[in-house]
Structure 1
Amino acid sequence: MRGGAPGRGRWRRRGSALAAAGMLLLLAACAPSGGADGAGDAEPSAPAVGSSARSIALPPAGALPDYQLGGAYEPMEEVGIVARDRSAPPAEGRYSICYVNGFQTQPGELQDWPAELLLQRDGAPVFDPDWPDEALLDHSTPERREAIAAIVAPWIAGCAAAGYDAVEFDNLDSYTRSHGALALDGAVELARLLVAAAHDAGLAAGQKNAAEDAAALRERAGFDFAVTEECAAYEECGAYTAVYGDQVIDIEYRDELPLPFAELCRAPSAPRSMVLRDRQLTVPGDAAYVFEAC
């Protein structure tokens, strides 16, 4: 989430240990990359490349990540992967992931969306109960999915033009907050369109959270890697590594650690790319700032 919005996936968790979700997409022009057979140490195959001449690069396996959605700053020297909001420039000299809110509106951008693309109830948009400044996008029909993708695709192209290497799509699981108005299949189909746009722009596409649907998302939509929040704290990491191998980037948060971070790092299922951050994803110098590597 832009403008200092942090830890979205696990912050929005409501009771379930899994952030249900799963959905994705891709036009026929962009075939899914490798099948997800659930093999724990299987490496993801090379992603399909669309019309872009720019080659798709996967995140460097095992590199230390930094999650900077709350504000961009110069990463520590040992950091090899940096995720930032699409409104910020990529981190120079690091593998850079561009955050895109693909299934809900960004705060302050509600007026930029046609009313017919917002999920409606009783004549008013439906908002995420945990993020009341974000309205759910209505992906219930092919026409609406195409229209949503047409709005998001230029953001993806902008990430590529800015020099990002990859894009992560947040709120894949927004259908679970729609009170039955939206379904997984519609979310999958929209996601496929967004992944296709990423591949056509030369960007790798990252699945954001949605542990229990990881295999389906990779197989049906062609995601190349996963960005997870608190998979160690919620004992979900194996669900991602079984599908993406070393292409899993995990962010843990200081306020909900079940064990010391060092112990989580030593767990057999811990992803190789793992970092501890503060929930607000603040910048160095802020009293709440936390950054700790395994």
Structure 2
Amino acid sequence: MNDGVPPQIPITYEPRLIQPPLALKQASAFSHGDIYIYDLAANSSNLIVSASNHEIKLYNPATLAIKNILKFHEANITQIKAHGDHILMSSSEDGDLVMQKMSELATKTERRKPAPSKHPLLSFDINSSEHLLAAGTELIREDANIHFFDSRGDTSTILKTYAESHSDDITNVKFHPTNPARLMTGSVDGLICQFDLSDMDEDEGLLVVSNTGTSINKIGYFGPSAEYIYCLSHIETLSLWNSDDADAVQQFGDIRGVSNPALGLTLDYAISCQYEPESGRLYLISGSNE
């Protein structure tokens, strides 16, 4: 760095990245009426969809035929995740985190892990050793919590709760892809917190706090050793951070500012980011209102 100013990162545009243009192959209506799709997940044998009627449906990915309809939750489903081919997980504003074996879906015998006081759950993740689950809650009065569960247990016992690190809704919970004791969380309070969970002490384990200055929509690790973090905000800004300190690598500002109609490039909102290890590139996936 020169005088503390990070070097500019080269940006390239590819407004027509997908060639040839996409065409509709198959379609399936989730339900009739005013039902909204909330989240999508997939593994080798299922396309998994959650919706505003509190249902989760499993589809055959080749035919879009419905394989199963699951009713685990009594409120809005905030996240679903397919962990390999064998485990389905979901969180909800009803305060339940459900972890279900795919082989037992027909019996509807799920394992529920309810949060204390039924705080609405907004996000969750499982670590790389598959032993620890973490879930972030909505702000209720003065509490925005991170709850930890043993994913191998059959009880709903919470191992630990962190209650001091965030002061607003915890929108993201992400474990490091290879280090099972490294966790980061993002919140509407604008903070990205990173923890070492070796001894599960919140004060001792809080390693780094990065203040993005705006409500966080999505965060994720990237880089050859997952040594960097990307952050997308609710006001469509993109920033990149070092994961070992609170320094910003680059602040791109509002992504809508790079729209170039002459090139056919219109960015109205960010969807996600995707890291490509082979090239070292971080791709921003965005959408337009058109």
Alignment TM-score > 0.5, same fold: no
TM-score where L is the length of structure 1:
0.26
Would you tell me which structure has more helix in proportion to its own residues? 1
More strand by share: 2
Give the TM-score normalised by structure 2.
0.26
Higher relative contact order (CA 8 A, sep 6+): 1
